[in-house]
Amino acid sequence: MKRKVIVGLSGGVDSSVAAYLLIQQGYEVEGLFMRNWDSSANNDILGNQEIDNDVCPQEQDYLDSLEVANKLGIKLHRIDFVQEYWEYVFEYFIKEYKKGRTPNPDILCNKYIKFDKFLNHAINELKADYIAMGHYAGVRFNEKTKQYEMIRAVDTNKDQTYFLCQLTQNQLSKTLFPLQSLEKPEIRKIAAEQGLITADKKDSTGICFIGEREFTKFLQNYISNQPGDIVDIKTNEVVGKHIGAMYYTIGQRKGLNLGGMKEPYYVAAKDIDKKIIYVCPASDESYLLSNSAIVTEINWSLDLKEYMDNVDEFECTAKFRYRQPDVKVRLNKIKDNEYKVSYDAIVKAVTPGQEAVFYLNDICLGGGIIDIVE
């Protein structure tokens, strides 16, 4: 009997080709389209360039997914996770911004929606053996350690293991990533050869399942303006005004509106209570640099004891933001799922609220939230 796979068809080229490849590999394939955001119900007005479109982008994505499914001869299901996305992803996202931190909604979406709500619906309701996504990543079973390992994609520029760092052994055991060994040009070529409507479709950008937004205006839908001073961290001189410190992230340069300055300035620190943004000049980025951080709420995607002689203190590599080159790090356990992470290389703009993701060669070990930067 064929093994049944439910593919998350999103209306993009990657998930379209993932479905095609699984059919070629002999699986029984069906698609499932998720709708996770409702601009009208969620008051998504400010910063939304698409609010007045005749067809909203999500509906167009569904129509594209339907055409791909018809072309491939597979059934397409549709499900609404708008409420779940709001409760499990977006409320946390806004709460963290109010604290002046910078969360990663893509990681939350993978953890709570794609590989939880979607996975459970596919397995329990649609009677699937596996789910599959168009992510650039891979899963393999290590016979020696008896662990499912999430591994990097061959296309290092597109590798998405950073965003998948919260997955568990159970989730990995039920997930297929057909694109692991392919690069983007090959995927578009396959889509074109198969006559799929998504072959030349632009990659989606912006916030996971929400899309491109004028970000500061978008946040104003949910967080009211709290104006304050922009202060030079070196001289303590007020150099400008802002409309809300929570709208800015560490290392940000654009959007500060500091006209007439001799050089660009970066956000170096924030004081939410005093409504102050501290900035530093580009010629002195020392205020953006760090050599250690406290990382909390770490999810280890596998059992570290199978890979480390000492799980309380070990070396590996880490990324502190997507597409950043790996940095060699040393981890010292503070308590369960909380480590001090030290790095010899001085790293720029490590930001509280974002994710530190850990690797052992090509294996993604897991990741946690950057809590304090030292």
Greatest pairwise CA separation for the chain in angstroms: 72
The 10s digit of each residue's pLDDT in 303-334 is 999 999 999 999 999 999 998 999 999 999 99
**pLDDT-based confidence at 204, cuts 50/70/90?**
confident
**pLDDT score of 37 more than 80:** yes
Residues above pLDDT 70, as percent of the chain? 100
**pLDDT score of 227 more than 90:** yes
When pLDDT is averaged across residues 65-78 and rounded to a whole number, the result is 98
Question: For 289-373, which CATH class?
Answer: mainly beta
When pLDDT is averaged across residues 247-275 and rounded to a whole number, the result is 91
CB proximity list for 315: less than 8 A, separation 6 or greater: 328, 329, 330, 331
What is d(CA 362, CA 340) in angstroms, rounded to the nearest whole number?
22
CATH 2.30.30.280 residue ranges of the chain are 224-283
Q: Residue 373: its pLDDT value, please?
A: 94
316 is a catalytic site residue? no
Query: 31 labelled as ligand-binding?
Result: no
The encoded tokens of residue 18 equal 């993932």
105: part of which helix (H) or strand (E)?
A: helix 105-109
Strands 289-300 and 363-373 come out as antiparallel
185 CB neighbour count, 10 Å cutoff: 9
When pLDDT is averaged across residues 38-51 and rounded to a whole number, the result is 89
Query: 164 labelled as ligand-binding?
Result: no
326: left (phi over 0), alpha (psi -120 to 50) or beta: beta
Strands 327-335 and 313-319 come out as antiparallel
- The b-or-e profile of 158-182 (16+ CB within 10 A means b, else e) is bbbbbbbbbbbeebbebbbbbbbeb
Q: Which fold has domain 4-134+178-215?
A: Rossmann fold (3.40.50)
Look at the chain and count its residues. Answer: 374
173: part of which helix (H) or strand (E)?
A: helix 169-173
Q: Residue 340: its pLDDT value, please?
A: 98
**pLDDT score of 2 more than 90:** no
280 is a catalytic site residue? no
Of 229, 343, 234, which Cα lies nearest the Cα of 285?
234
Query: 11 labelled as ligand-binding?
Result: yes
CATH homologous superfamily, domain 224-283: Adenine nucleotide alpha hydrolases-like domains (2.30.30.280)
Query: 9 labelled as ligand-binding?
Result: yes
Residue with tokens 């055991």: 173
**pLDDT-based confidence at 205, cuts 50/70/90?**
confident
> Full-prediction pTM beyond 0.75?
yes
User: Which is the catalytic residue, given 208, 280, 316, 364?
Assistant: 208
User: How high does pLDDT run on average in the chain?
Assistant: 94
Q: What is the DSSP letter of 235?
A: T
**pLDDT-based confidence at 189, cuts 50/70/90?**
very high
CATH 3.40.50.620 residue ranges of the chain are 4-134+178-215
Q: Which long-range contacts (CB under 8 A, 24 or more apart) does 233-236 make?
A: 233/268, 233/269, 233/278, 233/279, 233/280, 233/287, 234/280, 234/281, 234/284, 234/287
Of 180, 64, 77, 187, which Cα lies nearest the Cα of 128?
77
**pLDDT-based confidence at 346, cuts 50/70/90?**
confident
CB proximity list for 157: less than 8 A, separation 6 or greater: 184, 323
Residues above pLDDT 90, as percent of the chain? 87
Query: 195 labelled as ligand-binding?
Result: no
Spatial contact of 292 and 374, defined as CB atoms under 8 Å apart: yes
Highest-confidence range of 68-77, 212-221, 250-259, by mean pLDDT? Answer: 68-77
Q: Residue 69: its pLDDT value, please?
A: 98
**pLDDT score of 261 more than 90:** no
Of 8, 43, 53, 3, which Cα lies nearest the Cα of 26?
3
What is d(CA 11, CA 23) in angstroms, rounded to the nearest whole number?
18
User: Which is the catalytic residue, given 56, 109, 316, 364?
Assistant: 109
The 10s digit of each residue's pLDDT in 169-186 is 999 999 999 999 999 999
23: part of which helix (H) or strand (E)?
A: helix 13-24
- 3-class DSSP assignment, residue 231: strand
CB proximity list for 124: less than 8 A, separation 6 or greater: none
Query: 12 labelled as ligand-binding?
Result: yes
CATH 2.40.30.10 residue ranges of the chain are 289-373
Spatial contact of 279 and 268, defined as CB atoms under 8 Å apart: yes
